[in-house]
Amino acid sequence: MRARTVVALLASAALAAGCSGPEQQPSAPQTTAATGTSSAATPSSSGSGSPAPTTPAPSPMPTDHTFEVVEHEAFDEPWAMVALPGTDLLAITEKGGALKLRGPDGVREVSGTPEVTVTTQGGFGDIIAGPTFETDGTVYLSWVEGSGGSSGAVVAKARLDVDAAALTDITKIWEQTPKIDGGGHYSHRLAIHDDLLYLSSGDRQQFSPAQEFDSNLGKILRLTLDGQPAPGNPFQEDIPVSQQFWTIGHRNPLGIAFDADGRLWSSEMGPKGGDEVNLIKPGLNYGWPEASNGSNYDGSDIPDHAQGDGFEPPKVSWNPSVSPGSLMIYQGDAFPAWRGDAFIGALSGEALIRVDLDGESATLADTWPMGARIREVEQGPDGGIWLLQDGAGGKLLELRGA
């Protein structure tokens, strides 16, 4: 299928609040959020002290880029993708259970995929390449399993033969416990750093388990590549499952990613007006459901994050919500001024969002309306930025430097 140029967007200048684009539509809250709340709603890790430089530093390199958005193939409810190392391929999961390999020569379907349970928010989930992918094809996958209305996420390792387009040797290494009736907040995003597996496990819309030590719901976990609790994890309680925990107090963290210096960041779908970007540090409690800059959908309040409450505040938060569905930290060459920055696909916000990362600080920088729910953002094999629209017929999109 020939690519078709559909939209040209001008990246904003490096304004702190960033979105200079037109209002997309009355129901889309992202523009207001971007222009109105980025500074005020971004708690600083250094407390109330605000450095006030008197002389602007000279800018050694461009601080923005222009790009156009190119449409590629359509997929059936695409959920996740990853650039497979040593290839020119993207591996793309579809919620219903299919795995596709997409390259310059087109799209192939992979055989041998696991049987998944499709619920409101869950089905086939994430895919990432293992550290040994280039020699043995190891990948890690997540999906939802269930029976009789009760379900939970699982994680497996497997071998992906890209020449044969075949998945084999699927071995389940982790499961979300307990299984829950209902189809929301699995999270089940994966990342690997220093030969350890990090995994987000959502609260399954049960709220309180995020603060409890007898289930792995509402946590970010750190495991060995075989799914065992990693040595040195911060919660070594009597309850074995808590030995998996890296951080607690999470609602629905649909994005986790490491920066070049080894810091782990998450994007978390919060309640009404409480979406977050968090810097994930071992042993910390991120507050859900005791603290949130948003409120419950039934209108009841949740105390905002406040200094001294014992909970780690977000680095960036959104009100109104944008529904961050994915997180990628860019390391490519196509857009050098954005190297090291976080990119977030927004679902209800129908936008691509750039968050400027600088050490441990994060600042909302750009919110580009995309006219569609964005499910996934990833760095492509070419070092560019690629997106997946959400839903039936969701298209693969490429940002091409203009």
Query: Which residues would be at the binding site for Ca ion (CB under 5 A)?
Result: 80, 82, 302, 304, 378
Pick 183 or 271: Cβ nearer Ca ion: 271
CA distance 190 to 220: 10
- As measured in angstroms, the least distance from the Cβ of 8 to Ca ion is 26
- To Ca ion, the closest distance from the beta carbon of 376 in angstroms equals 6
Distance of closest approach, residue 273 Cβ to Ca ion, in angstroms: 8
80 or 129, CB closer to Ca ion? Answer: 80
| Identity of the residue, 183 or 287, whose beta carbon is nearer to Ca ion in the bound complex | 287
Number of H helices, E strands in the chain: 2, 26
Q: CA dist 138 to 22, 110, 173, Å?
A: 44, 15, 13
Residue 92 identity: I
- Smallest gap from residue 213 Cβ to Ca ion (A): 25
By the 8 A CB rule, do 29 and 37 touch?
A: no
Shortest spacing between CB 231 and Ca ion, in angstroms: 27
User: For residues 342 and 328, is the Cβ–Cβ distance under 8 A?
Assistant: yes
3-state secondary structure of 171: strand
Question: How many other C-beta atoms can be found within 10 angstroms of the C-beta atom of residue 25?
Answer: 9
Nearer CB in complex with Ca ion: 41/302 = 302
Q: Tell me which residue of 95, 81, 7, 125 sits closest to 384, measured CA to CA.
A: 81
* Shorter beta-carbon distance to Ca ion: residue 82 or 352: 82
Whether 305 is a known active-site residue: answer: no
Contact, 400 vs 68, CB < 8 A?
yes
Active-site option among 72, 185, 188, 250: 185
DSSP code per residue over 196-233: EEEEEE--TT-SGGGG-SSS-TTEEEEE-TTSSBPTT-
Closest contact distance (angstroms) between CB of 35 and Ca ion is 21
Residue 105, C-beta contacts closer than 8 angstroms, at least 6 positions apart: none
* CB 94, CB 388: distance < 8 Å: no
Q: Which is nearer to Ca ion, 82 or 180 (by Cβ)? A: 82
Catalytic positions, written as ranges: 185
